[in-house]
Amino acid sequence: MKFRAYILILFSLFLISYSSTDVSAHSGRTNSSGCHNNRSTGGYHCHGGYGDTTSNGRSTVESYKDSDLNGENDSYQDLQEIGINIENMGLKDGEQDAEHGSFQENPKPPGELSNAEYGWYKEGYKKGYKTKIDGIAYEQGYQKGLGFKSKITPEKFAITSKAKAKFNSGYLKGQTEKWIYTAKLAASESKPLSLPKDLPRDVTNLAKDAYEKRLSNIKKEEEAYQEGLSSARKEEDYSVPTKYEGLSALYYQKGYYTIFNQLINIKNTALKEGWSGEKYKVPSAAEEYNLQYIYQKYYEEGKRKKIIDKIYQVGMIFLILACFLFIVFITYKIQEKIKQKNALK
């Protein structure tokens, strides 16, 4: 009887030990893929050995870790929490694919999932892709509108109406800036404006307005430049007319000093050559800027200055000579008076 009781006790201890080991090895309820949530860590892991990342950098199910198995039974983990974790993995993968515009209608998960789990993953993937694609659609459309190659084709943005609208808005802005710049450039180069026939009417009108406005500004700038040239040729003091205040004032200034700087050089050369009696020869700069009359004017002035200088020199000689004779005369008179006084004595 005692022997039977002893055997019964040993058998009971064996059952208790086996039950405890089983609980520790499988803490928590697993799904069809061998995955489950751990309430103590908040992590979702699989006993199938999935890695954290795949070779292409996509997110994966959390790896199995012995530290997760703390013996706490989390078999009552809410199914919704499992779905959120899987959906977040899909969200990250969707955002990653959106960077390259590589949308997958049926995205490939990082590991084997049940139908329900794949539904969560796919939902997260689409949500992540659409959110990300909405954010980059405008910039991609803008770049394409400017004429640069878009790294994402427009068809990819048709996945969401919001992304498509943003892409079209960015594209329109890029097209507007591109053709306004083209119109201004054509006007600056005196070329006719040529626009594609399929341009939106608003873009066409804005480009034409920019072309006409640039032509008008060019005309005003040319007038200011020519008036600056004329003022300098007349040797007038620098003063910008009121009608050219603003951007056109720079062109007036440019015209004025283009002539003024040349005029000073030509004037100094003409005075020097006229005074020294060198042969009359108009400099090439005077011919280039139509300043021959300046050279002639100051060449003659140089000659006159030479004559005046000579007259001045001769006059100074006569003045010195007259002073000398006057001194001699006074000296002579003084000496005569001295002689007369001596004779009377």
Tell me: do 156 and 248 sit in the same domain: no
Q: Is 290 left (phi over 0), alpha (psi -120 to 50) or beta?
A: left
Residue 230 lies in a domain: yes
Residue 280 lies in a domain: yes
Tell me: do 222 and 304 sit in the same domain: yes
Domain boundary among 166, 199, 232: 199
pLDDT band for position 12 (50/70/90)?
low
Residue 20 lies in a domain: no
Model confidence over 36-71: pLDDT tens digits? 554 444 444 454 433 344 445 555 544 434 444 444
Residue 175 lies in a domain: yes
Tell me: do 225 and 326 sit in the same domain: yes
Look at residue 180 and tell me whether its pLDDT is greater than 70: yes
Q: What is the pLDDT of residue 16?
A: 52
Q: Which residues contact 9 (CB under 8 A, 6 or more apart)?
A: none
Residue 68 lies in a domain: no
Tell me: do 191 and 264 sit in the same domain: no
Residue 150 lies in a domain: yes
Look at residue 6 and tell me whether its pLDDT is greater than 80: no
Boundaries of domain holding 221? 214-344
Q: Tell me the average pLDDT of the chain.
A: 78
Alpha carbon distances (Å) from 150 to 89, 133, 139, 140, 173: 28, 13, 9, 6, 15
Residue 303 lies in a domain: yes
Q: What is the pLDDT of residue 13?
A: 52
Tell me: do 233 and 339 sit in the same domain: yes
Tell me: do 259 and 311 sit in the same domain: yes
pTM for the model stands at 0.53
Distance CA 95, CA 77 (A): 28
- Region 102-118: mean pLDDT is 78
Domain total of the chain: 2
Residue 53 lies in a domain: no
More confidently predicted of 30 and 330: 330
Q: Which residues contact 246 (CB under 8 A, 6 or more apart)?
A: none
Q: What is the pLDDT of residue 19?
A: 44
Distance CA 301, CA 286 (A): 17
> Is residue 342 classed exposed, middle or buried when 0-12, 13-18 and 19+ CB atoms within 10 A define those classes?
exposed
Tell me: do 194 and 286 sit in the same domain: no
Look at 31-45, 80-94, 134-148 and tell me which has the smallest mean pLDDT.
Answer: 31-45
Could you tell me which residues are beta bridge partners of residue 43?
Answer: 38
pLDDT band for position 132 (50/70/90)?
confident
Tell me: do 173 and 149 sit in the same domain: yes
Q: What is the pLDDT of residue 5?
A: 54
Q: What is the pLDDT of residue 74?
A: 52
**Residue 178, token pair as written in the block:** 């591109």
Model confidence over 265-322: pLDDT tens digits? 999 999 999 998 889 889 999 989 889 999 999 999 998 988 888 888 888 888 898 8
Q: What is the pLDDT of residue 61?
A: 47
Tell me: do 136 and 258 sit in the same domain: no
Look at residue 182 and tell me whether its pLDDT is greater than 50: yes
